[in-house]
Structure 1
Amino acid sequence: MQHIQSTGYNIYFNDDCYTYLQQLLQPGAYSTIFILSDENTSQHCLPTFLSMVATEIPMEIIEFDAGEVNKTIETCVQVWHALTDLGADRKSLVINVGGGVVTDLGGFAASTFKRGMDFINVPTSLLAMVDASVGGKTGVDLGALKNQVGVINNPIAVLVDSQFLETLPAEEMRSGLAEMLKHGLIADAGYWNSFLDLNDLSTTDLDALIHRSVQLKNEVVMQDPTEKNLRKILNFGHTIGHAVESYFLENPNKTTLLHGEAIAVGMILEAYFSAAYKLLTEGEYIEIKEVVLSIFPKVEFTADDITAIIELLIHDKKNESGKVQFVLLETIGSAVIDKLVENSLIIKAFEDYQN
């Protein structure tokens, strides 16, 4: 499968990942290799990955607890201490093997330790393959607020090996589909149509869909690496979705949602806004709602939940001058940025979602 060229690095797929690594990890290329993973990927993915990597460079493994709740500056401090204790220097290489929490946090730790070390992302979840590992966004959460602290800094490569998906539970696979659906909605109607019937999806089909999803994101990022304009369209579904995810993460009476589950809610609501403003047709909105709900179970919200979620919107990173900025769809396959939405319409969208 053809590699994808990004700004200053390449994204490799399947067998080409290990060909690249063998060429890179020659004696003397790096002083030490540090592999960062969480407890899940250490158990399910790391043995396979290590079996494919042969190098004389000394290698150390740093592991932290799994889950979004551990995507914090405190975990990052633990990683920095581990790097220090194990003798990391600026000629060391960090390889992040895991889902989006690992690639986000690991990229941030590597980007800031000794003012920057090379790092490679090896995403092992569908979500990380098509979204988190690509584009250079690194960082940690601040309390329940998503990705509030971080930097944009590219890896030297991203290695996407779809065999790791065999280790994922069904709900994690489904979570990754949310970002793939988003890429079709904002940039490629034909790609969106690929998801209208998932019943006969083969492994080959999935590889091709992953490749196209990465390609779509990369095309946007290359035009606007630091998210001044066009790259904002990648946040479709995320303004509401991140607030929903944060609220369910911090509320002890709620079951924590996976990222894709929260983004699925956000995409339906933000599609509703788009239809309300006469950008999307009613038929397009209904199609989006039906397709997303055919994949993701509906989430229940009380009136108090909705009020609290709206209050969280003020912390969204796209906001300017205290105003919440949304990405809306002008049709399936095309998006517009920096749109304001009244709270009354947000409440109506939640009501429509529940019906």
Structure 2
Amino acid sequence: MQTIAATNYSIFFNELGYEKLATYLLPAQYSKIFILVDENTSQYCLSHFLNNLTTEIELEIIELEAGEIHKNITTCFEVWSALSELGADRKSIIINLGGGVITDLGGFVACTFKRGIDFINVPTTLLAMVDASVGGKNGIDLGNLKNQIGVIREPKAVLVDTEFLSTLSQKEMRSGLAEMLKHGLIFDKEYWNQFKNLNNLNTDYLNTLIHRSIEIKNTIVSQDLNENGIRKALNFGHTLGHAIESYFLDKKNKSPLLHGEAIAVGMILESYISREKGLLTHDEYHEIKYIIKDIYERIEFDSEDIKNIQDLLIFDKKNEFGKVQFSLLDGIGKIKINQSTDKQLIVNAFEDYSR
């Protein structure tokens, strides 16, 4: 797959990626390499990565517990402490080998340790490949509230090795697929149309879809790194999706949802709002609703759930002057940012989702 040039770094793929990585990791450039993993990537991905990594620099492995519940300041403190104890200096570099939690948190740790050291993202999940590892967003959660603390700073490079996908469950693959569906809906109708029939999906075709998804996200981010305008398009499905994800993460009687599972619901709900505002046709809405529902399991919501999810919307990062801001579809393949709605329309969207 062809290298994708971002604003200040490049996204490399597979074998070429390891060759390029070797040109970065030279003793004259870095004093020490720290590889951040969680218990899953340590078990399933680390040996493959190390077998393909060429460098003469001393390596240290820092392993974390897996899961969104550990994407917090306490874990950051543990990693900062480990870096200090293991002799990290300002010429050290962190390689974040993992899913979105590792790339988000690892990037934030790197940006803040000794006022900032370099980092490279090596995503190991589909979700991280097409979303979390690209675009320079680094951060952690504040309690159950998603990505409330963070900074925008781009990595030195991203290496996408699709061999890691063989370690994932179908549930994890579907989670990543949600962001790919989103990229088609907000930017490229032809790309969206490719997801209408995935029966003939093979490795080469999946690689092509992944490459195009990253290309779309990079095209948007390159125009608006700090999310003052068009980058907000990438939040389609996320205003309600993040609130749903946070709610299910915090409620002890609910099973936590994977990011993509929550975003899939959010995209249906926000497509409904788009239709009700006259931005999406009836047929377009039903196409989106039933394609997504065919891929993801239905989530049950009662009236109390809906009220509590609406209460969480006030914490969404896009809000301005206390108003909840949505990015809504303006037909398939186009987007309108900074859109408002009312509470009853959100309730109606949940009711329609449940039908």
TM (normalized to structure 1)? 0.99
| Residue of structure 2 equivalent to 1:239 | 239
- Partners of 2:7 and 2:72 in 1: CA distance: 28
Return the letter of the residue paired with 1:118.
D
| Residue of structure 1 equivalent to 2:36 | 36
- Partners of 2:173 and 2:38 in 1: CA distance: 18
| Residue of structure 1 equivalent to 2:123 | 123
- C-alpha contact 1:241 1:266 (8 A) present in aligned 2: yes
| Residue of structure 2 equivalent to 1:194 | 194
- C-alpha contact 1:27 1:57 (8 A) present in aligned 2: yes
- Partners of 2:226 and 2:288 in 1: CA distance: 29
Return the letter of the residue paired with 1:342.
D
Aligned pair count reads 355
| Residue of structure 2 equivalent to 1:281 | 281
| Residue of structure 2 equivalent to 1:215 | 215
Cα deviation for residue 52 of structure 1 reads 0.4
Query: Which string of whole-angstrom CA distances, capped at 9 and with x for unpartnered residues, describes residues 17-65 of structure 1?
Result: 1110122222322100000010000000001000001211000000110
Return the letter of the residue paired with 2:308.
A
| Residue of structure 2 equivalent to 1:82 | 82
| Structure 2 residues not aligned, in runs of 5+ | none
Q: Report SS of the residue matched to 1:243.
A: helix
| Residue of structure 2 equivalent to 1:306 | 306
| Structure 1 residues not aligned, in runs of 5+ | none
- Partners of 2:261 and 2:17 in 1: CA distance: 29
Return the letter of the residue paired with 1:87.
G
| Residue of structure 2 equivalent to 1:106 | 106
Q: Report SS of the residue matched to 2:330.
A: strand
Return the letter of the residue paired with 1:197.
N
- C-alpha contact 1:22 1:54 (8 A) present in aligned 2: yes
- Partners of 1:235 and 1:26 in 2: CA distance: 38
- Partners of 1:148 and 1:23 in 2: CA distance: 35
- C-alpha contact 1:135 1:225 (8 A) present in aligned 2: yes
Q: Report SS of the residue matched to 1:33.
A: strand
- Partners of 1:131 and 1:25 in 2: CA distance: 25
Q: Report SS of the residue matched to 1:331.
A: coil
Q: Report SS of the residue matched to 1:141.
A: strand
- C-alpha contact 1:245 1:256 (8 A) present in aligned 2: yes
Indicate whether 1:255 and 2:259 are aligned.
no
- Partners of 1:190 and 1:56 in 2: CA distance: 45
- C-alpha contact 1:89 1:114 (8 A) present in aligned 2: yes
- Partners of 1:326 and 1:55 in 2: CA distance: 46
- Partners of 1:296 and 1:277 in 2: CA distance: 26
1:56-205 matches, cutoff 5 A: 56-205=56-205
- C-alpha contact 1:28 1:57 (8 A) present in aligned 2: no
- C-alpha contact 1:174 1:260 (8 A) present in aligned 2: yes
Cα deviation for residue 277 of structure 1 reads 0.6
TM (normalized to structure 2)? 0.99
Q: Report SS of the residue matched to 2:150.
A: strand
- Partners of 1:230 and 1:55 in 2: CA distance: 39
Q: Report SS of the residue matched to 2:180.
A: helix
Query: Which string of whole-angstrom CA distances, capped at 9 and with x for unpartnered residues, describes residues 117-164 of structure 1?
Result: 010000000000000000000000000000000000000000000000
Return the letter of the residue paired with 1:170.
Q
Indicate whether 1:20 and 2:16 are aligned.
no
Cα deviation for residue 307 of structure 1 reads 0.3
Q: Report SS of the residue matched to 2:20.
A: helix
